[in-house]
Structure 1
Amino acid sequence: MTINNNTNRSDTSRTVTRSVAVAIIGAGTAGQNAFRQASKQTDDIVIINDGFWTTTCATVGCMPSKLLIAAADRAHEAKTADIFGVHAEVEIDGKAVMARVQAERDHFVSFSQKQVNDWDDDKKIAGQACINADGNIEVNDECIEAQHIIIATGSSPFIPEGWAETLGDSLLTSDTVFELQDLPASLAVVGAGAIGLELAQAFARLGVEVTLFNRVGRVGGLKDKDVNQQAITCLSNELTLELDSKINEVACDSQDGTLRATIDYCDHHGEQKQWQGERVLVATGRRNNIERLGVTHLGVSLDDKNRPQDLDKNTGRIGDLNVYIIGDANAHLPILHVASDEGFSAGHSVCLNDEQSHLRPPSIPLSIVFCEPQIATVGMSLPEIEAQNLEYVIGKVNFSNQGRSRIMAVNCGKLHIYACAKTDKILGACMAAPDGEYIAHILAIAITNEMSIKTLLESPFYHPTILEGLRSALRHAQEQMSIPHQS
């Protein structure tokens, strides 16, 4: 085996029953993509998976959450139509909402499942893999020696210690929330990251009484104070926000057969408060699933948060080992398109003599939260720019008076574009904005292609569109070029 391993041999290690060129552990987005690419170069391959053979995105992530948001947006548009002089009575059928979420979710899952079903049975193993002291993979009754190992075991929702036992059936995570048969009457959402924000607003728009808790005064991972405050202001129009709060204790009991959860907490003023309701959705992030896999037997070093060290952020390769840790498993950027790219690159790398010939370059950082207004970050963050002591300007636009945004009654938001004062090129951007997903993609393309502010402003901006707000921010950046910031 070509994997470096300084660990002493275990007396309980099994005799090798199969040797392969490539072994992939995990069959989510990253693992499936790696398997497809590696299979184009070798038949000497096996993929091992524990649990469902589909992707987090299709099964418990992107797709079911967007289905819930789609229903919520329809309800919100109907309930707020009176601003346009259109009056409607809105009745939300929670069972029908969740039935459609699950049916359409299963439709998307079927595509991924069909692809897996088409793979040769002798290349698929269902079971929990464990890497032994020899660096071989033990699964079921097999012990597999692999020249290259690609680890794509994904992530799981993080639940604070003791909460699962205490809250019992009242506890929800992003892995279980979409199995609800009906909408709850009330819901506490703990965590204001992408998952928490999206689901909190969606459930609130569907008539659920929602309170959103977060231990810091930030939402959506925003690192620009002004944009963060704007996002909070916009979201507060629909959500009860308990930011900068500390949860001291959770409890749950049953009253007349109805679940009743309790959260005791300190608000941002330090005042002791209590929330009571039907369900608690824990959205405090996801953690990678490599802790118990035994990757240290392969020579992989982990930090105190189980993140692999010496990671090539393009291929997922660990140093000079023939080990690749990709997708959510490496906890680098747990986003689907990043996992897909890493799977593609790792799958190509394991069997190529010239490893660089088919590698995709690392993508420009891009993150989007599908709440309203949409929260997005592109490229470098403001703290990263300041840490590198770069001269920069900030092009700003507030959407409160932006023409098309006011027409659509979505005129709450702010966009900041960070541009290099020396090169006129965009370094990054941060926004809580209507049509933020489109603005963010345009800026990501501009950064990828090293386009200047001047070049972007030479492009047409059709009137009237929300994207004219992007032009306003670009023009403001251009005006600021004579007075750059420097940390």
Structure 2
Amino acid sequence: MSKSTEQTADNVADNRDNNKITRKVSVAVIGAGTAGQNAFRQASKINKDIIIINDGFWTTTCVTVGCMPSKLLIAAAERANDAKYSEEFGIHSDVTINGKQVMARVQAERSHFESFIEKQVESWPDDKKIAGTAHINADGLIEVNDELIKANKIIIATGSSPFIPDGWSDKLGETLLTSDSVFDLADLPVSMAVIGTGSVGLELAQAFTRLGVAVTVFNRENRVAGLKDTDINAKAIDCLSNDLTLNLKSTINDLGTHIDSDDKLSAFIEYTDKDGNDHRWEGERVLVATGRRNNIKSLGVENLGVELDDKNRPQNLDIHTGQIGELEVYIVGDANAHIPLLHVASDEGYSAGSIVCNQNTDAYIRPPAIPFSIVFTSPQIVNVGMTQQQIEEDPELEYVIGKVSFDNQGRSRIMGVNCGLLHIYGCKQTDKVLGASMVGPDAEYIGHILATAITNDICVKQLLDTPFYHPTILEGLRTALRDVQHKMAIPYQALDTQEDGF
């Protein structure tokens, strides 16, 4: 809070029965996910009177219901897919998938990852940890359990939760799954509908499909992974359709449950397809993957002077530190709905924890990360830097698109993963990479190289001056960079018309 706000809180507190305030602390961290834990560790280096309040598990979204269990499921799916579909290499096998064993490994390995975070939390002093639901009252004081806490500075890192459209929970009942519950399944379902084609929906839909579940995917737009580049979106749909049954541009008219012919509870979805025809899907489970929403609405942040927009996003947010205007309030990680990714949450938590320290003149504030997202499907989908839409909306930018198809790229074809397309958006004025969008093999590594180039202002010529080993999938990156340079008419070397030197 600002000095004036802090003085007001002091005056209010002085006018109250001081015995009702159970603690006065320099810093209170609300939420113990990735951002909150980083903020707490950093701020604890200098502030001794600091507390962290948490409602729910003391691990992180990533470890418990996000990145790690989903990748464990994907790893099992990739093993199954490779074993089942290797005939083109002359390898034939009969594959049996034990769903209970698949899910048991997911849960066991998840517990292994959780144990490292739990040990870290256990090492913190007990008097600095409060398990409970925090609420900020009209006086700007934190109410939790039977305590009333006055904090000079507050870091809010309450994370996010799966968004479920109104009424769907009641209609779907026990058949409903979200990313918070799907990894607790004891066995693989026979059939599943997945609603939503963001990263969560696509990754889980493909993984369950490859593990033998009959999966049908629904999305109201003709778009996957939020792709803004029309050609990349079309290619991604083409590649993913090899595995997935995609009902894109479909409208869900109704959904619910009924007792099927085997006297079991079953789900149904009544929908209209892209051609205007009505259909009915029936199956065992419905995974709702319609995005996540930040957990901030009921916290009472307005009592600290924080303003939220109609989507509960805090206004006047400093993306370097998470600070809200001049208030001594910092909202970090998924709670601020800025870029809801783990590496961003980690950096924001670190920065907020550093800046709230009393001796913060030399505080190290991590620079805001450039936009960078990876969808771990096969092929992978990557966006880095500016989107094509953002570039086109800036009249000052002149750009070209360097392209490469992975359909006939040497190493990709050798490995049987040759479906993909990369677009690199190059700036004609600066010879720098503005952004890129891609679906293809090894996209996570290509994305990292381009993210490093954008972050460090490395130009296209410098990228091309580095070696590209043959034969690798990364040679496709070189082809796209050469196409950028050729289209910008910057003399360097003749464009190699023979793909990857083979």
2:23 match: 18
Query: Does structure 2 conserve the Cα–Cα contact (< 8 Å) formed by 1:13 and 1:133?
Result: no
Alpha-carbon displacement from aligned partner over 1:170-202 (angstroms, at most 9, x marks no partner): 000000000001101110000000000000000
Q: Which ranges in structure 2 are unaligned for 5 or more consecutive residues? A: 491-502
Question: Aligned partners of 2:55, 2:370: CA distance in 1, in Å?
Answer: 32
The partner residue of 2:432 within 425, 429, 432 is: 425
The partner residue of 1:269 within 266, 275, 284 is: 275
Whether 2:411 is the aligned partner of 1:404: answer yes
The partner residue of 1:181 within 175, 179, 186 is: 186
Shift of 1:41: 1.0
Question: Aligned partners of 1:104, 1:349: CA distance in 2, in Å?
Answer: 35
Helix, strand or coil at the partner of 2:407: helix
Write the letter of the residue equivalent to 1:63. M
Question: Aligned partners of 2:268, 2:362: CA distance in 1, in Å?
Answer: 55
Alpha-carbon displacement from aligned partner over 1:278-297 (angstroms, at most 9, x marks no partner): 10000000000000000000
The partner residue of 1:385 within 385, 391, 397 is: 391
The partner residue of 2:146 within 141, 146, 171 is: 141
Question: Aligned partners of 1:199, 1:319: CA distance in 2, in Å?
Answer: 39
Compare 345-354 and 259-268 and name the one that shifted more.
345-354
1:299 match: 305
The partner residue of 2:228 within 219, 223, 229 is: 223
Question: Aligned partners of 1:21, 1:49: CA distance in 2, in Å?
Answer: 18
Alpha-carbon displacement from aligned partner over 1:396-452 (angstroms, at most 9, x marks no partner): 000000000000000000000001001100000000010000000000001111011
1:375 match: 381
Whether 2:425 is the aligned partner of 1:414: answer no
2:72 match: 67
Query: How do 1:21-420 residues align onto structure 2 when only pairs under 5 Å count?
Result: 21-255=26-260, 256-354=262-360, 357-389=363-395, 390-420=397-427
Shift of 1:13: 10
Question: Aligned partners of 2:231, 2:75: CA distance in 1, in Å?
Answer: 29
Query: Does structure 2 conserve the Cα–Cα contact (< 8 Å) formed by 1:189 and 1:282?
Result: yes
Question: Aligned partners of 1:356, 1:225: CA distance in 2, in Å?
Answer: 45
Shift of 1:387: 1.1
Question: Aligned partners of 1:422, 1:2: CA distance in 2, in Å?
Answer: 43
Shift of 1:353: 4.7
Shift of 1:240: 0.4
2:458 match: 451
Question: Aligned partners of 1:355, 1:453: CA distance in 2, in Å?
Answer: 37
Shift of 1:12: 11
Shift of 1:354: 4.3
> Kindly, what percent of the aligned residue pairs are identical?
66
Write the letter of the residue equivalent to 1:31. G
Write the letter of the residue equivalent to 1:369. V
Query: Does structure 1 conserve the Cα–Cα contact (< 8 Å) formed by 2:32 and 2:157?
Result: yes
Question: Aligned partners of 2:374, 2:352: CA distance in 1, in Å?
Answer: 25
Write the letter of the residue equivalent to 1:392. Y
Alpha-carbon displacement from aligned partner over 1:131-184 (angstroms, at most 9, x marks no partner): 000101000110000010000000000001111111111000000000001101
Question: Aligned partners of 2:309, 2:280: CA distance in 1, in Å?
Answer: 36
Query: Does structure 2 conserve the Cα–Cα contact (< 8 Å) formed by 1:13 and 1:132?
Result: no
Write the letter of the residue equivalent to 1:72. A
Equivalenced residue count is: 483
Shift of 1:266: 1.1
- CA 39–353 in structure 1, closer or farther in 2 if over 3 Å, else same: closer
Question: Aligned partners of 2:280, 2:74: CA distance in 1, in Å?
Answer: 28
Query: Does structure 2 conserve the Cα–Cα contact (< 8 Å) formed by 1:13 and 1:134?
Result: no
Question: Aligned partners of 2:434, 2:154: CA distance in 1, in Å?
Answer: 36
Q: Which ranges in structure 1 are unaligned for 5 or more consecutive residues? A: none
Compare 47-56 and 270-279 and name the one that shifted more.
270-279
Question: Aligned partners of 1:280, 1:351: CA distance in 2, in Å?
Answer: 46
1:477 match: 484
Alpha-carbon displacement from aligned partner over 1:210-245 (angstroms, at most 9, x marks no partner): 111111111011110000000000000110001111
Alpha-carbon displacement from aligned partner over 1:59-88 (angstroms, at most 9, x marks no partner): 000000000000000000011111101001
Helix, strand or coil at the partner of 2:111: helix
Shift of 1:482: 3.9
Shift of 1:357: 3.5
Compare 355-364 and 262-271 and name the one that shifted more.
355-364
Shift of 1:254: 2.5
Shift of 1:209: 0.5
- CA 20–470 in structure 1, closer or farther in 2 if over 3 Å, else same: same
Write the letter of the residue equivalent to 1:232. I
Shift of 1:257: 4.1
Shift of 1:352: 4.3
TM-score (normalised: structure 1):
0.97
- CA 71–422 in structure 1, closer or farther in 2 if over 3 Å, else same: same
Query: Does structure 1 conserve the Cα–Cα contact (< 8 Å) formed by 2:194 and 2:287?
Result: yes
Query: Does structure 2 conserve the Cα–Cα contact (< 8 Å) formed by 1:49 and 1:126?
Result: yes
**Runs of 4+ in structure 1 over 4 Å off:** 5-14, 352-356
Question: Aligned partners of 1:356, 1:304: CA distance in 2, in Å?
Answer: 36
Question: Aligned partners of 2:400, 2:366: CA distance in 1, in Å?
Answer: 31
Shift of 1:356: 6.3
Shift of 1:259: 2.2
- CA 45–297 in structure 1, closer or farther in 2 if over 3 Å, else same: same
Query: Does structure 2 conserve the Cα–Cα contact (< 8 Å) formed by 1:153 and 1:289?
Result: yes
Compare 62-71 and 361-370 and name the one that shifted more.
361-370
Shift of 1:269: 1.2
Query: Does structure 1 conserve the Cα–Cα contact (< 8 Å) formed by 2:2 and 2:326?
Result: no
